[in-house]
Structure 1
Amino acid sequence: MGLLVQASWHSIYLEVVYLALGWFAFAVWSTSFYPQVILNYRRKSVVGLNFDFLVFNLTKHSSYLIYNAALYFSPAVQRQYREKYGQTELIPVAPSDVAFSIHAVLLTAFTIYQVFIYERGTQRVSKTCVGITIAAWGAAVISLIIAIPTAAWLWLVSVFNIIQVVMTAIKYFPQAWMNFKRKSTVGWSIGNILLDLSGGVANLLQMVVQSIDQKSTANFSGNLGKLGLSLEVIVFDVFFIIQHYGLYPDRLSAVEESQPFLQGDMEDQQKVISADHKD
């Protein structure tokens, strides 16, 4: 076995920028979970928040946590990474990535807990979502069984990285479709989206800084999950911003939005009241 060359930064200034961007992304992405949690608490309702989104999100963040933690903490995975991409390549996972993943799993789980204790109307998790989620975790288990005999740990964590990219790509569709059908974003926090977008941009810039310092694009090809995550987040968040501010603005007043009812629910209630008066 050859001598292992320790990867290092060439510029201390770029390293500082890289770390600053990473912790900024961690801060805004971690904070992005709270507007939705607070909105649910104030309304005592999760009506308008798509449950498929939450289930996909939990699978996504759990997979991303496994990937980040393994690549950051495991010497075996790090060794296999450098054997594949070069001994002088920096590991493309920052401490902030691991911290964010842990926080994301906990907050997503707490939001799911809110589903069970607050008004949820007739909403439920779709059979399609259940099927996709079972398939994703089934693929992870099969990959684990395949990886054990040959100790293909980098390949295994890459599978989890692929799972999180796929989940990121599909998790927004149920919420976007629900907003379209309701012609409203009430119950879906725009604060979450604005912070999420800021984190996606910072995450992408962080990869650019590392690439400039190393004069290499290996961190992009070696961490397609982080690249895919950043790009998907930016695209979908821009779409949600268009929905909220452009397509369906000001559907309810601030007072009405604080109540656990949709516009359609309120109209139905008004019809019931009118019918009672006629009687």
Structure 2
Amino acid sequence: MASWHSVPIHVAYEVLGWSAFFSWSISFYPQVILNYRRKSVVGLNIDYAVLDMVKEILYMIYSASLYYSPAVQKQYGNKYGQTQMNPVALNDIAFAAHAVLLSSFLVYQISIYDRGNQKLSKMAIGLTTIVFLTSTVCVCISLSHHHWLWLISIFNVIQVALTIIKYIPQAAMNFMRKSTEGWSIGLVLLDFFGGVTNFLQMIMQSVDQGSWKNFYGNIGKLLVAVVSILFDIIFICQHYCLYPPKDNKSKDQQLSENAKNEV
């Protein structure tokens, strides 16, 4: 695949990429630590956590396949041109592997800590089932025709759709509770910074190559960054403008007490 034309742009690309990696990777920890300290996941939407775990698994398969598989890279070159660079960077692989581990651990915390009266919704169960069945069918089709790029592209589309969907239950839950207590603002801020640096990294590659094909050649990475930024802005507004932290404590304590009374 193509090589870099400008050393400074390449350096900027790597700096932005690893900045996105560290920011997005660290973004998991504020929520994990908050859950551990409270011994509760009240305020964290279960649908969000489960859908995020499924999404991260699909993203890891997509990224690892395009980065490591010569067969997939050849099919990518045939479709977008052999002079195009691989749109997946090493930092994408590192983030994907880390994200699968941390999102799985977050789901584990949900299974052991106080959840109040919250349960996994039928919508989340249905979506997860559809994703599993769709993925299985696509794998069977690819095995017979060797359409590997098509297969991981399907995975990429699904993970983008899950990225859009997964934030909605959490945003709606914050709105219904009129509180962001239990939902880490640290996660949101780091996720926002990761989305911005990830988007800028893609721009650096396009500038160096004089082509914007890496954007629609890896449309999933672009959409994930844009969607994350947009929802993070919503969460920031909820936390700092609509439901200030000073009002959250008493409301969340009341919700926790009501949940315990119901039990």
Is the CA contact (8 Å cut-off) linking 2:20 and 2:194 kept in structure 1?
yes
> What TM-score do you get using the length of structure 1 for normalisation?
0.90
Instruction: Supply the distance in 1 between the matched residues of 2:163 and 2:248 (Cα, whole angstroms).
Output: 29
For residue 262 of structure 1, report the CA deviation from its aligned partner: 3.7
Q: Does residue 198 of structure 2 align to residue 216 of structure 1?
A: no
Q: Does residue 152 of structure 2 align to residue 150 of structure 1?
A: no
> What TM-score do you get using the length of structure 2 for normalisation?
0.95
Tell me the amino acid that sits aligned with residue 170 of structure 1. I
Q: Does residue 261 of structure 2 align to residue 265 of structure 1?
A: no
Higher helix share: 2
1:155-234 alignment, distance < 5 Å: 155-234=150-229
Q: What fraction of aligned residue pairs are identical, expressed as a percent? A: 54
String of CA shifts for 1:25-63, please: whole Å, max 9, x gaps.
000000000000000011010011000001110111000
Instruction: Supply the distance in 1 between the matched residues of 2:228 and 2:98 (Cα, whole angstroms).
Output: 18
Instruction: Supply the distance in 2 between the matched residues of 1:262 and 1:151 (Cα, whole angstroms).
Output: 55
Q: Alignment partner of 1:9: what SS?
A: coil
Unaligned runs of 5+ in 1: 1-5, 272-279
Unaligned runs of 5+ in 2: none
Runs of at least 4 residues of structure 1 off by over 6 A?
none
Instruction: Supply the distance in 2 between the matched residues of 1:134 and 1:175 (Cα, whole angstroms).
Output: 21
String of CA shifts for 1:125-174, please: whole Å, max 9, x gaps.
00111001110121111111111111000000101100110000000000
Is the CA contact (8 Å cut-off) linking 1:48 and 1:186 kept in structure 2?
yes
For residue 116 of structure 1, report the CA deviation from its aligned partner: 1.6
String of CA shifts for 1:161-211, please: whole Å, max 9, x gaps.
001100000000000111011000000000000000000000000000000
The structure whose Rg is larger is 1
- RMSD of the TM alignment (CA)? 1.6
Q: Does residue 104 of structure 2 align to residue 109 of structure 1?
A: yes
Would you say how many aligned residue pairs link Structure 1 and Structure 2?
Answer: 260
In terms of mean alpha carbon deviation, does 116-125 or 87-96 score higher? Answer: 116-125
Q: Alignment partner of 2:29: what SS?
A: helix
Is the CA contact (8 Å cut-off) linking 1:252 and 1:263 kept in structure 2?
no
User: Which residue of structure 1 aligns with residue 81 of structure 2?
Assistant: 86
Tell me the amino acid that sits aligned with residue 59 of structure 2. Y
Instruction: Supply the distance in 1 between the matched residues of 2:138 and 2:112 (Cα, whole angstroms).
Output: 36
For residue 119 of structure 1, report the CA deviation from its aligned partner: 1.1
User: Which residue of structure 2 aligns with residue 252 of structure 1?
Assistant: 248
